[in-house]
Amino acid sequence: MDEPTNDAAGTTPGAVDAAAYDKLKKEKDEVYNQLLRTTADFQNSMRRAISETDAAVDRARGDVYRQIIPVIDHFDTALTANVTSDDGKQLFEGVRIVRDELLKVLKQSGVERVEPKKGDAFDPHSHEAMMRQPAEGVPTNHVTMTFSPGYTFKGRTLRPAKVAVAP
Amino acid sequence: MDEPTNDAAGTTPGAVDAAAYDKLKKEKDEVYNQLLRTTADFQNSMRRAISETDAAVDRARGDVYRQIIPVIDHFDTALTANVTSDDGKQLFEGVRIVRDELLKVLKQSGVERVEPKKGDAFDPHSHEAMMRQPAEGVPTNHVTMTFSPGYTFKGRTLRPAKVAVAP
C-alpha cells in the first residue's frame, strides 16, 4: 500500500494529493467488492455442501441396500424348495419369516420391491425387458412375465425387475 | 462512504484533508482484514464440510447395518433348529449359505462380527456384561460365555456382544 506523500507539490501541510486519495478510495472499493463476492461464494458453497451431504448419505445408503439384494435373491431361491417333512416345513416357515423381516426393514427405510404383475405397463425406469413374449390378453409393451423382482430406493432404481414384454 | 471534501479549509485545490485520507485508509484496512478473516473462515468451513460429509456417510451406512443385525439374529436362531429329514437338511444348508453370504457382504463393507471366546479379555467397547459367572481357568474380568454376537463398523460398535464375565 502506498503511503500518502504529504509533501507533494501543490499541497499544503495537513493535506494530501487528491490523486492519492482517489487511488486509495478505488483500492478500498475493490477490496470491499472482493469481500462481497467472497461472502456470497461462502454462503453458496455452504448451501451446496449441505445438499451434497444429503445426496452422499442417500447414495451411501442406496449402495448398502444394493449389496443386500443378492441376499434376498438367495432367500427367494431357498423359498422355492419343495419341502414335505415336518422339520423341513418348520424351517421353511422360519426362513419365510426372516425374509419378510428383512423386506420389512428395507421397506421402512424407503426400499421398495418392484414385482410387476402380468398385464402391468412396462416401465423403463424400474423394469428391464429380457425378452419379447406374447400372452393372451396382454397388450403391446405390457409385462407378460416377471423373472426377478427389482428394487428402488427413494425413487431411484437399485436394480430393475427383469421381465418379459408383449410384442 | 464519505466523499472527500476538496474545498475543506486549509487545503489547496487538487488536495484533500489529511484526516479524511487517514480515515479512508483505516476503513480500507478494516475491510481488508475482514476479507482475510472471511477467506480463512471459508477455507476452514469447506474443509470441515468435507470431513463432515465423510462422517455422515459412515453414520448412514452404520445405521443401515445396525438395522440388519436383527435379521442375522433371526438367521442364527433358525440355524439352531434340529433338522433330521433330507429335505430339511437341504434347506438348512441353503439357509446357512444365505446367512454366510450376508455376513460376507457385511464383512467386505467393514462390518465385523464380534464373537468373544471363553477366556478372552472383557472389552468394554465391544462387549456388554450381562452377568457375572465363574468358570474354571478363566481369570477375573475375562469372558466365560457369549450369549449373542456383537457387530462393529469401522471400529465403531453397532451392537456389543452380550457376554458373561468371570467375577
Give the H/E segment covering residue B128. Answer: strand B127-132
Task: Classify residue B84 by its DSSP letter.
Answer: -
pLDDT tens, residue by residue, B131-157: 999 999 999 999 999 999 999 999 899
User: How confident is residue A82, by pLDDT bands cut at 50, 70 and 90?
Assistant: confident
* Closest chain B residue to A32, measured at CA: B31
Give how far Cα A81 sits from Cα of A76, A77, A148, B84, B164, Å: 9, 7, 16, 16, 39
What's the gap in Å between the CA of A106 and the closest CA on chain B? 9
What's the gap in Å between the CA of A33 and the closest CA on chain B? 10
Q: Do the Cβ atoms of B74 and A109 come within 8 Å?
A: no
φ and ψ of A132, to 5 deg: -100, 130
What's the gap in Å between the CA of B107 and the closest CA on chain A? 12
In chain A, where does DSSP find H-type helix? 18-78, 86-108
Given a cut of 90, whether residue A158 has pLDDT beyond it is: yes
Per-residue pLDDT, averaged over A86-113, amounts to 90
Per-residue pLDDT, averaged over B26-32, amounts to 95
C-alpha cell at B46: 469447506
Site of grid cell 429380457:
A130
Q: Do the Cβ atoms of A91 and B88 come within 8 Å?
A: yes
Q: What is the ipTM of this complex?
A: 0.73
Global pTM reads 0.75
Given a cut of 80, whether residue A11 has pLDDT beyond it is: no
DSSP per-residue codes, B2-54: PPP-TT-TT--TTEEEHHHHHHHHHHHHHHHHHHHHHHHHHHHHHHHHHHHHH
